[in-house]
Structure 1
């Protein structure tokens, strides 16, 4: 399977991560290192009490990027680069966490002293630079960003609430606070034998056990009647037959190699990596049948953890960061634009960027989580925080409805979210926003159903993720840059507003 081979520069922070000590499985992959083993082992023949420090399953850092506002345009590139360096710092710290389990079991302060403390200092230095860059560009940096430097350790099964605040945390000694669920029972092995931290059995649910109509998967769809714009426009861009993969993120980390720390599928625009300019995008080829649509549509790949050595098995973004197994292409990728329940839509500006979902939802909380998981034949059974176990003959479905309210001015924003909004409960846009065609992406996969036995899942599938996000389904997300030519965008708008179904 191929990959994007465009020559790219690698920033120092990425080189540091690439050189970090990491165990490997079958030639590639950050090992979970059997996080319970060292806590249970007792050469005297008696079980000993599990060290609280050994229960730290992952690293939970405040998302500085989500808190930044009002960054002057000329400082945006520098700030995005600094944020990408912070992501690399977390990845490096997580690698250290995952490969020192025995030391953690023997020293209750190991995590705090050797991982979290130094990480706080490094993050504080980056935050200082971000504040300086904003101020130098004529902005007013938020002094409270300093409060986001410290990270916590948390167990893999700790619940999250919608505001991103953890139910518990780590005290100053690097141990977990009382009252937290500290993991499984004696003898648990949270890597399922896969060699990486997740997914685990609790990340899956039988689709028959998901209650129907409990999640509004039709957010923003046009209503019947004369009040809304009831049409649709479908664009066929294939399923990445050209094998365009990379672990960049042009929206969130422009100019940074491996800015996503996980691999993306790309359809549509064929010149999409971290170093693509708007001019590059406009001049690129497209996989879309309508050659006027050079938009880029991308999402993290799904993998089947079956031992397959993919092209990126030894690479950053791939196996070296815990994203292992066979990349699964969708059997179908349906890309559709629909209207507003409250009236007409207006054209999207060219190069409008939209991120939906949150790649860090496991640690950030579910406020921005958005993907719906389901199975064909069970489309009214939607779940966000579990992977579905589908019956034989049923496809796994990944559905994402993007924000469809635009601020009327900006093609992007400092945190890559504030220029867009979801519709309100009545289908209208918030004050100051106007309705644009809503992008909806439905991906269908033919995946053998994993089996769950004795608390372990065999041959699981999982979404690629930042290493510390443990492949949780809630971290799924989707990205879009509008590169339709003006005539095609006007056709999309006219079709939707006339109530027609076009392609």
Structure 2
């Protein structure tokens, strides 16, 4: 099936076609679906107008025809965004604690099959992640996540102080949460889903206004910074939290801008409830990065491989073993618990744990 014959949801027809995502001078562009048009720069779902991000459309791995659209097989159809209000639960989440594996100037989402094309990234989780990674190559391989079933790939731009690369130490906290009020409607990620959160080309104001913003860069008593603090107390760490969109259109595992198949929840009119938009009705877990970098003192030489602090963004490529992910989502998110990486809530020991002492599904 080609771009000229594929019928797409209306929201995707205005998808941003991108430029200069990773500080590379070469600009990759793609024609709009079915129109043969050149580059366009409209906002992607859940992002800000004026942002653009490089689109790399070439045949590789999961995208056999090179059009940038990777269909979900089968697609999820017939879903209406849930507007139900279940019994209130303060928590509906679990953790995926994953340590750094390696760094490389690769990006298997934006520049698949093109090693060395991107700026430097720090990878967590799957040990094999590189420019050639595909759904099948990641699935079931070795991981630094506490749960061996989580072979997902997580990555972000590398952080430097001067010319020294600063890597997070030990397992980093990656939350899987309910982003919608009806936490009972959340279902597991489809195999092979991938997306980018944030944009390396965003301005400081756009970073602050991004739907995934939590508290910005922080250390010691300094927080809500869009760029790095000028100084961090001795012995402190530089921290950042950022949340991903959690509503999926049910049709594609990826799109050319790596965003349009996902959207952030919206507020239901007349309420304070978060619901998925009708264009993206499928509620998935909300991924939240909570990163800690061991750097302190004078921060004037601190930078990201992608630029200033407000260029922060991250990538997620799902490669969970399906049964385990479903068990964790059902028990912790749908079940309204605050779970550790075993799927255990210490405030509700009577509910038990999903995984055994080896962090495996019994």
Q: Contact 1:387–1:473 at 8 Å: present in 2 too?
A: no
Structure 2 CA distance for partners of 1:293 and 1:92, relative to 1, 3 Å: closer
Structure 2 CA distance for partners of 1:341 and 1:420, relative to 1, 3 Å: closer
- Kindly indicate which of the two structures has a greater share of residues assigned to helix: 1
Partners in 2 of 1:88 and 1:235 — Cα distance? Answer: 28
Structure 2 CA distance for partners of 1:485 and 1:92, relative to 1, 3 Å: closer
The two structures have a TM-score, normalised by structure 1, of 0.49
Structure 2 CA distance for partners of 1:361 and 1:282, relative to 1, 3 Å: same
Match of 2:129?
A: 272
Match of 2:218?
A: 375
Using the TM superposition, give the Cα deviation of residue 231 of structure 1 relative to its aligned residue in structure 2, in angstroms: 2.0
Using the TM superposition, give the Cα deviation of residue 388 of structure 1 relative to its aligned residue in structure 2, in angstroms: 5.6
Using the TM superposition, give the Cα deviation of residue 364 of structure 1 relative to its aligned residue in structure 2, in angstroms: 11
- Kindly indicate which of the two structures has a greater share of residues assigned to strand: 2
Match of 1:252?
A: 110
Match of 2:276?
A: 429
Partners in 2 of 1:429 and 1:340 — Cα distance? Answer: 9
Partners in 2 of 1:289 and 1:363 — Cα distance? Answer: 34
Over aligned residue pairs, what C-alpha RMSD do you find? 3.3
Match of 2:147?
A: 290
Deviations 1:414-460, CA, capped at 9 Å, x for gaps: 21111101112442111132221111111112212216xxxxx4xx2
| Structure (1 or 2) with the larger CA radius of gyration | 1
For structure 2, which runs of at least 5 residues remain unmatched after alignment?
7-16, 43-47, 52-84, 268-272, 342-362
Partners in 1 of 2:254 and 2:21 — Cα distance? Answer: 23
Partners in 1 of 2:225 and 2:204 — Cα distance? Answer: 18
Partners in 1 of 2:145 and 2:158 — Cα distance? Answer: 19
3-state secondary structure, aligned to 1:400: strand
Q: Are 1:407 and 2:254 an aligned pair?
A: no
Match of 1:183?
A: none
Matches within 5 A, 1:110-129: none
Match of 1:482?
A: 318
Partners in 2 of 1:408 and 1:440 — Cα distance? Answer: 21
Matches within 5 A, 1:49-60: none
Using the TM superposition, give the Cα deviation of residue 357 of structure 1 relative to its aligned residue in structure 2, in angstroms: 0.7
- Equivalent position to 1:496, from 323, 330, 333: 333
- Equivalent position to 2:286, from 408, 418, 438: 438
Deviations 1:228-274, CA, capped at 9 Å, x for gaps: 68321112222x2x4x21111111111122232x1111111122111
Deviations 1:136-195, CA, capped at 9 Å, x for gaps: xxx32335x3899xxxxxxxxxxxxx6438xxxxxxxxxxxxxxxxxxxxxxxxxxxxxx
Partners in 1 of 2:338 and 2:98 — Cα distance? Answer: 17
Matches within 5 A, 1:100-499: 130-131=30-31, 139-143=34-38, 145=39, 163-164=49-50, 226-227=87-88, 230-238=91-99, 240=100, 242=101, 244-260=102-118, 262-305=119-162, 325-332=163-170, 333-343=172-182, 344=184, 345-362=186-203, 366=207, 370=212, 372-376=215-219, 378=221, 381-387=223-229, 389-425=231-267, 426-432=273-279, 433-450=281-298, 457=300, 460-465=301-306, 471-494=307-330, 495-499=332-336
Partners in 2 of 1:89 and 1:444 — Cα distance? Answer: 23
Partners in 1 of 2:246 and 2:22 — Cα distance? Answer: 34
Using the TM superposition, give the Cα deviation of residue 72 of structure 1 relative to its aligned residue in structure 2, in angstroms: 7.4
For structure 1, which runs of at least 5 residues remain unmatched after alignment?
1-69, 74-82, 94-122, 149-161, 166-223, 306-324, 452-456, 466-470
Match of 2:62?
A: none
Higher relative contact order (CA 8 A, sep 6+): 2
Partners in 2 of 1:234 and 1:365 — Cα distance? Answer: 28
Structure 2 CA distance for partners of 1:255 and 1:378, relative to 1, 3 Å: same
3-state secondary structure, aligned to 2:316: strand
Partners in 2 of 1:441 and 1:392 — Cα distance? Answer: 24
Q: Contact 1:369–1:384 at 8 Å: present in 2 too?
A: no
3-state secondary structure, aligned to 2:334: helix
3-state secondary structure, aligned to 2:216: strand
Q: Contact 1:302–1:327 at 8 Å: present in 2 too?
A: yes
Q: What is the total number of aligned residue pairs between the two structures?
A: 278
